[in-house]
Amino acid sequence: MKEETVKLIVILLGVASTLGIYSILYKENKVFRFFEHLYLGLAAGYSISAAWNDILRPQWWTLMMIEGRWWMLFAIPAAMMFYMIYSKQNSWMSRLIFGLFLGATAGQTFQAFAADYFPKFRTAASKAVMDLPEVNQPGAYGLTPFSAALNNVLFMVILASVMTYFFFSFEQKGKVIPSVSKFGRYTLMVAFGALFGSTIMARMSLLIGRMYFLIHDFVQVQLLHMQ
């Protein structure tokens, strides 16, 4: 097959699968079902290939068979334990290997917690109301020392009220706590609205990418031979 023919088929397959998947927007139908199953099959095949190409071959097979680290063979009985789940008497052995994974994940949490949250604690704890470094920074349009301090106070207020909203160990009664936590809930809604609004852009960008493929790569280049 010529290079161009391959390229043309690749584009045609791309167009077919794009339209096939989009057809679910109208309603569930046979074309979508076909592409859905095709997709699941390809994805399974891809996972198998990726597991071999990217992990098992370089990190296991090559080390064992070519570099001669014969003890890598012990990975097989260890991995076999996963499959013992299907044995009636010995399904407990699968828990042994899960235990290894659970333990390892749990053990890494200490470092992850320190690395993720300590900088955040640091930021929150060092919000200043005087001598604000950010006032003189480029990009701080119209930021006066007063408004910068106000922003930092607001930061603490929001942080505290949202955290209060998530305290579970006592009934949220009285005068202060319910209104603080209500304010927390409202600021959460502002945050979620903001997240929604800013995500729209990302999703539209994806659609633009796809439409560009249909319009440019397929219609303009392949059908109309425009460049």
Partner 1 sequence: MRIPQLDRRVLYLLLALVVSIPLLVNVPLPPPAITPPTKSFYETIETVSTDPKTKDKLVIISCNFGSGTLAENLSQLEATLNHIVSKRMKFAIFAFNDPQGRDLGGSTAQRIADKAGYKYGEDWVNWGFRPPQGIQSLLKAMVNDLHGALGTDVKGTKLSTIPVMANYKKADDVGLIIEFAAADTVKYWVQFFQRAGTTPIATLFCPTSVMANEAYPMLETGQLQGMLVGLKGANEFETVMKRPGFATRASASLSYSHLLIILLIILGNVGMIQDRKRQQGATK
Partner 2 sequence: MFQVQHGAALYTHLAGAAVVSVILFFALTLVPTKLRRPLIMAVTFAAGLFYALEFFWPVSGPESDQKNFLTSYIKPFSDITTVLQSFALGLGVYSLVSIHLRKVARTQSGWAYSLVLIVSMIVMVIAHIGKEYIKAPWVHQLNEFAYSGLMKSLDATMFSIIAFYIVSAAYRAFRIRSTEATILLVSAGIIMLGQVAIGQAITNAIPNEGLTANLRVENMANWILKKVNSPAIMAIDFGLGVGGLATALRLWLSLERGSYFEEEL
Partner 3 sequence: MNHATWPARVILIVISAVIVWTVIAAQRGKKLFIRRIPGLTAIDEAVGRAVEMGRGILLSSGLGGIDVVTLQALAICTNIASAAARYGTKVQMPIYEAALLPIAEDAISSAYNKAGRSDAFSSDDVRYLSNQQFAYAAGVAGMIQREQYAATFLFGTFFAESLIMAENANMVGAIQVAGTPSTTQIPFFIASCDYVIIGDEYYAATAYLTRQPTLLGSMIGQDRVKIAILVTVMLGFLLTMVKLPLVKNLFEDKDMPAASYYSPAKGGK
Residue (95 or 216) nearer to partner 1, CB:
216
For residue 111, the 8-state DSSP code is: H
The percent helix, strand, coil of the chain (3-state, each to 5) is 80, 0, 20
Q: Minimum Å distance from CB 14 to partner 1? A: 10
193 touches partner 1 (CB under 8 A): no
103 touches partner 1 (CB under 8 A): no
223 touches partner 1 (CB under 8 A): no
State whether residue 26 is helix, strand or coil: coil
Q: Name residues contacting partner 1, limited to 59-88 (CB under 8 A).
A: 59
* Three-class secondary structure assignment of 63-89: HHHHCCCHHHHHHHHHHHHHHHHHCCC
Cα–Cα distance, 157 to 122 (Å, whole number)? 17
47 touches partner 3 (CB under 8 A): yes
Cα–Cα distance, 138 to 213 (Å, whole number)? 39
Listed ranges 70-78, 93-101, 160-168, 194-202: which one lies at the site for partner 1 (CB under 8 A) = 194-202
Q: Minimum Å distance from CB 106 to partner 2? A: 4
Q: Minimum Å distance from CB 118 to partner 1? A: 10
Residue (70 or 98) nearer to partner 3, CB:
98
Residue 198 is inside which H or E element, if any? helix 176-212
Q: How many helices (H) and strands (E) does the chain have?
A: 6, 0
19 touches partner 1 (CB under 8 A): no
Cα–Cα distance, 204 to 92 (Å, whole number)? 48
Listed ranges 61-69, 73-81, 133-141, 164-172: which one lies at the site for partner 1 (CB under 8 A) = 133-141
36 touches partner 3 (CB under 8 A): yes
For residue 130, the 8-state DSSP code is: S
90: Cβ contacts below 8 Å, ≥ 6 apart: 84
Residue (126 or 227) nearer to partner 3, CB:
126
Q: Residue 161 burial by CB count (10 A; 0-12/13-18/19+): exposed, middle or buried?
A: buried
Q: Name residues contacting partner 2, limited to 56-95 (CB under 8 A).
A: 56-57, 59-60, 64-65, 67-71, 73-80, 82-83, 85, 89-90, 92-93, 95
Binding site for partner 1 (CB under 8 A): 25-26, 50, 54-55, 59, 112, 115-116, 119-120, 122-123, 138-140, 194-195, 198-209, 211-212, 215-216
